[in-house]
Amino acid sequence: MMTFNQTLTLIKADFSRRLTLEEKRINALNMCLIAFKPGMISILCYRLSRYCFHHRLGIFCKFFSLIDQFINTNEISPQTDIGPGLVLSDAGGIGIPNLCRIGTNCTFMGYSSITLGALENAPTEDDFIHIGDHCVFGANTRIMRAVRLANGTQVKPCSVIITSVKKEGQTVSGIPAKHKHIDDYANIRQWNPLLSKSIVEAAL
Amino acid sequence: MKQSISQTISLIKSDFIKRCEYENKTFNFVQGVKLCFYPAAVGVMLFRLQAFFFQHNLNLFASIIKVINTVLFSIAIDSSAIIGERFMILHASFITIGPNVTIGTDFMAVHHNGIMASPFFTEHQSAQGPTIGNHVVLGGGGMITGAITIGDDVKVSMNASVEADFENGAVLFGVPARNVNQQKSEEAAT
């Protein structure tokens, strides 16, 4: 059961991550200002709807999901499990279904969609999409099957993923996605996808 | 150089004229008023106002207009993007244009387009976005990412992902994009 404090911690982690990527100081004023960005509204709605889902508050869960869909056209299922440090682009159009587990510090740049085909039986552990930490999704990417993406996978724009990625720091691209070069995962952890350079910790 | 209010109005007028030409209509006052109720044309108009406020250091107004544009029409264009006159968006749906992007005149985006600096890890770190020439058409779902240069009269097809430099008159298909015009001429030569 997820407590409200845990939800607040997750929201704080998301806001801190976005502020770090935009090279701004992490304080209360900046967090309030950044909350007006459509991408952050979307994350806030998802976290609150997930809290309501855990506490069986079905109406509020639906309400927060609907706000997200109206404002930002993102459709993120409250059943899906997303780690702290999520970054969504402001343009919206991101669809994430309920059979999905996403790691920490993942970035979705514009209308990515994670889709699963129709399942005949009840979903098992094999039917979940597992996405590792520090993954970056370019715009217009699709995931079509229950695949596993390793930590630091970089998905180039307009690719369609149908096979699992096992090596850390791999770049995948194309329709269907082919496995391209591998970068050092330690470098990818320090990469800033919003400003296209290494992360600089803001001076406090 | 800061753009004056009259320059902003003339830019908006040129966008509206391009839209009217596309729809085979002559631009006049009535058409202009009609276009003020058309989401894609209003999205472009809001971007011009956003750029005007940004250049005069009124960042608060610029960001408010950007949020309105994003929420109403899903058009998220960064204030620092430089876009030439006669800019046209066909359908107002999921257009993202990032910072440090330079686009020439007569640019047409369809829908689900993204033009931004590459978000992926590279050894050569560069926050520079794409530089795009004049008379470029970007098809539905087309993406242009990275510090690349694209020439004039280039056509990018649907769901193509452009990640390298291309010269004038290229026709681009695929992920990553290839120049179909060049392939045809090479086949004819052999």
pLDDT digits (tens, 9 = 90+) for A38-81: 889 999 999 999 999 988 888 999 999 999 888 888 888 888 88
For an interface test with A, which of B70, B100, B120 has the most A Cβ atoms less than 10 Å from its Cβ? B120
Average pLDDT, chain B: 89
Task: Work out whether the CA dihedral A45, A51, A53, A56 comes out positive or negative.
Answer: negative
A13 or B187, which is more confident: A13
Instruction: Please answer whether residues B155 and B173 qualify as being in contact, where contact means their C-beta atoms are separated by less than 8 angstroms.
Output: no
- CA pair distance B98, A162, nearest whole angstrom: 29
CB atoms within 10 A of CB A107: 24
Q: What is the ipTM of this complex?
A: 0.84
The share of chain A scoring above pLDDT 70, in percent, equals 95
Query: What is the pLDDT at residue A203?
Result: 47
Instruction: Put the strands of the sheet holding B95-97 in their side by side order.
Output: B75-77, B95-97, B113-116, B143-145, B161-162
- State the nearest Cα–Cα gap between A117 and chain B, in angstroms: 21
Q: Which of B45, B43, B47, B52 is nearest to B74 (CA)?
A: B43
| Structure-block tokens of residue B118 | 């590459």
- State the nearest Cα–Cα gap between B30 and chain A, in angstroms: 32
Which amino acid, residue A153? T
Q: A104-113, A152-161, B110-119: which has the minimum mean pLDDT?
A: A104-113
Instruction: Please answer whether residues A179 and A151 qualify as being in contact, where contact means their C-beta atoms are separated by less than 8 angstroms.
Output: no
pLDDT tens for A169-187 read 899 998 888 898 888 888 8
CB-based burial of residue B102 (10 Å sphere; 0-12 exposed, 13-18 middle, 19+ buried)? middle
List all residues 6 or more positions away from B158 whose beta carbon is below 8 Å from its beta carbon. B139, B140, B141, B142
Q: What's the pTM value of the predicted model, to 2 decimals?
A: 0.87
A123 or A185, which is more confident: A185
- CA pair distance A17, A36, nearest whole angstrom: 16
Which residue of B lies nearest to A188 if distances are taken between CA atoms? B121
Query: Given a cut of 60, is residue B33 above it in pLDDT?
Result: yes
Query: What is the pLDDT at residue A118?
Result: 55
CB-nearest to B114 from A92, A110, A183 is A110
pLDDT band of A150, cuts 50, 70, 90: very high
pLDDT tens for B51-69 read 999 999 998 999 899 989 9
Query: Given a cut of 70, is residue A96 above it in pLDDT?
Result: yes
Q: Which residues pair with B178 in a beta bridge?
A: B173
pLDDT band of B109, cuts 50, 70, 90: very high
CB-based burial of residue B121 (10 Å sphere; 0-12 exposed, 13-18 middle, 19+ buried)? buried
